[in-house]
Amino acid sequence: MRTLIAVTIFAAATAFAQEQPPASGTAAPSSQPQQQQAAPAQQPQTAPQQPAATNLVEEANAPTLSEIYCSGFVSKKSVSPSGTIVGGDLSPETTAYHEGNYIYLRGNDVKEGQEYLLLRHMQDPNRYESFKGQEKAVAALGEMYQDLGRAKVQYIRNKVGVAMIEMACAPALPGDIAVPYSERPRPEFRRVAYNEFATPSGKTAGRIIEAKDLDTFIGLHRIVYLNVGEQQGVKPGDYFRITRNYQSILDSPSESLPLYAPAADDTQKDVPKYNFKKIAGELPIRTVGHLMILSVTPTTATGLTTYVNEDVHLGDGVEMIDVAAEAPETAPSAAAAAPAAPPQPPTIQCSASRNPIQVGETTSISCNAMAEEGHNATISFQTSSGQIAPHDNRATLTGTAAGPVTVTASVVDDRNLAAHTSVNVDVQAPAPPPQAATLNELIFKQNSPYVDNRAKAALDDDALRLERDPNSTLMLEGSVNPSEKDSLAEARADNAKTYLTSNKGIDATRVQTRAAQQKTGSKVNVVLVPAGASAQQ
């Protein structure tokens, strides 16, 4: 059996190199992210150009990072946001922001370099009740919050934080909020025997009141919210049995329809007087699945379904179980005698979030690795150029030189079985700074500052150019012949500006005038100055 291991590594570009697993066969600790790995004995050795950065791959016997940090929660305690999303680098054309996008956070507690969890204060627009009394039960739990991902503030500009979304669960929208990032519990999976007609445990019991994404039918590895929490002794890692009695079927208009169909057959001689409603309360309570608690508040809990025998419904009951007492029995000896399957090496796939990038920019490389159940593994990567800064299970790589760059990611399990993959990223030289350029020349008659029709036609074209490029400006540089008065230079430039502002509606702040330093003729040079460029030529 293979189990998905979710690993997110943020990096920009890197080069191929083989690595060896640790000699001890154990995963390298995350506190030593720059330790180089050695290649397995059967792999050819290649000298790395830069030290390899190594990160611990998530263990197969725990929920994935996505399940942990995209689970959401329900709480009676209101969340106080550090900031609110007011837009992003793609505004206003785009209002939904994904992994790798920049968002703008406004708030008094937004700080440069700080990581934040992005949340959405949820409501159910349909107000549909999956079971009788659900709306009242949800209101009693508190407010629902959806996890949207994680972002890090790169800059503070004009009291607004510019943050990059490093991991996304769902698109972030204006109005969504940010709270300081904090580690969440990562409980381990436990093997629990399934018994459809288990004896009640007598431990903490509650009910599934709501589900992530407002789902009404829940399958395997889905998030649900319970009406029990810390005050009832619930903690992360606890297991609950999901139960259903027949009264819930009677309360459902759709599920109770079969009860109104004839229960007898023509071949029955002694037809009983069958009334399911009267005996429903005497029938056994069934187990329809198991769930594990991921996080808790004083009065609620967020759970992950770990086994389902059929669709789980909102309103189903839950009952805490003793995992040790419910451990599955040892496999039969016949199965134990079956030949063991050969060990399978792990696999790894990676992709870059941004490609190409410019020198000085960063990009993210996300990797998904798979290893056999019950085995730990490490992942490492190398780059032919650039700088890598690992953090937890991710790393940020900055391109430092133009040219193609390759990152090679290697995953090695605790049996020295390895797999490798590479991602190519094109690092481009930064675009040259914008330069001012002469658009045209306005010719004036000798000793005259008057803007004639020919000059006006040229200025009409210049006005259209400004309208198409709202961030640019014009510099009107007046000049004279040696035989003319010096004051004519500024008068000609001022008259051309007056035509643009009075006749063409151009904002006066976008048109500057000056006299040329040299006498080059009876004219005005029209110079286009792009945003960020200098008017000096």
How confident is the model at residue 4, as a pLDDT? 40
How confident is the model at residue 391, as a pLDDT? 67
Q: Is residue 384 in some structural domain?
A: yes
Specify the CATH number for the domain of residue 479.
Answer: 3.30.1330.60
Judgement on whether residues 209 and 299 belong to the same structural domain of the protein: yes
Cβ partners under 8 Å of residue 119, min gap 6? 79, 81, 145, 146, 147, 148, 176, 177, 178, 179
Residue 278: in which H helix or E strand, if any?
Answer: helix 276-279
Q: Is residue 194 in some structural domain?
A: no
Q: Is residue 420 in some structural domain?
A: yes
Domain end, chosen from 180, 215, 250, is at: 180
Domain end, chosen from 401, 428, 455, is at: 428
State both tokens at 529.
Answer: 């100055």
How confident is the model at residue 389, as a pLDDT? 72
Q: How far apart are CA 364 and CA 353, in angstroms?
A: 5
Helix/strand/coil (H/E/C) assignment for every residue in 174-203: CCCEEEECCCCCCCCCCCCCCCCCCCCCCC
Please provide the DSSP assignment of 319-375 as one string.
Answer: EEE-TTTTPPPPPPHHHHTSPPPPP---EEEEEESS-SEETT-EE-EEEEEEEETT-
Is 348:419 a contact under the CB 8 Å cutoff?
yes
Specify the CATH number for the domain of residue 9.
Answer: 2.60.40.10
How confident is the model at residue 243, as a pLDDT? 94
Judgement on whether residues 489 and 506 belong to the same structural domain of the protein: yes
- Count: domains in the chain: 4
Q: Is residue 141 in some structural domain?
A: yes
User: Which residues are paired to 206 by β-bridges?
Assistant: 318
Q: Is residue 534 in some structural domain?
A: no
Q: How far apart are CA 184 and CA 150, in angstroms?
A: 13
Judgement on whether residues 82 and 165 belong to the same structural domain of the protein: yes
Judgement on whether residues 399 and 468 belong to the same structural domain of the protein: no
Judgement on whether residues 369 and 301 belong to the same structural domain of the protein: no
Judgement on whether residues 237 and 314 belong to the same structural domain of the protein: yes
Domain that holds residue 524: 437-529
Judgement on whether residues 293 and 311 belong to the same structural domain of the protein: yes
Judgement on whether residues 258 and 172 belong to the same structural domain of the protein: no
Q: How far apart are CA 457 and CA 466, in angstroms?
A: 15
Judgement on whether residues 37 and 80 belong to the same structural domain of the protein: no
Which segments of the chain have a pLDDT < 50?
1-60, 331, 333-335
Q: What is the residue type of 217?
A: F
User: Which residues are paired to 85 by β-bridges?
Assistant: 105
Judgement on whether residues 279 and 348 belong to the same structural domain of the protein: no
How confident is the model at residue 340, as a pLDDT? 66
Q: Is residue 198 in some structural domain?
A: no
How confident is the model at residue 25, as a pLDDT? 35
Q: Which of 201, 152, 220 is nearest to 10 (CA)?
A: 152
State both tokens at 410.
Answer: 């290697």
Q: Which of 363, 395, 368, 361 is nearest to 100 (CA)?
A: 363
How confident is the model at residue 393, as a pLDDT? 59
Is 17:384 a contact under the CB 8 Å cutoff?
no
How confident is the model at residue 58, as a pLDDT? 35
Judgement on whether residues 317 and 349 belong to the same structural domain of the protein: no
Q: How far apart are CA 537 and CA 526, in angstroms?
A: 12
Q: Is residue 111 in some structural domain?
A: yes
Q: How many angstroms separate the Cα of 456 from the Cα of each of 450, 470, 477, 479?
A: 10, 21, 16, 17
Is 312:217 a contact under the CB 8 Å cutoff?
yes
Q: Is residue 195 in some structural domain?
A: no
Judgement on whether residues 52 and 76 belong to the same structural domain of the protein: no
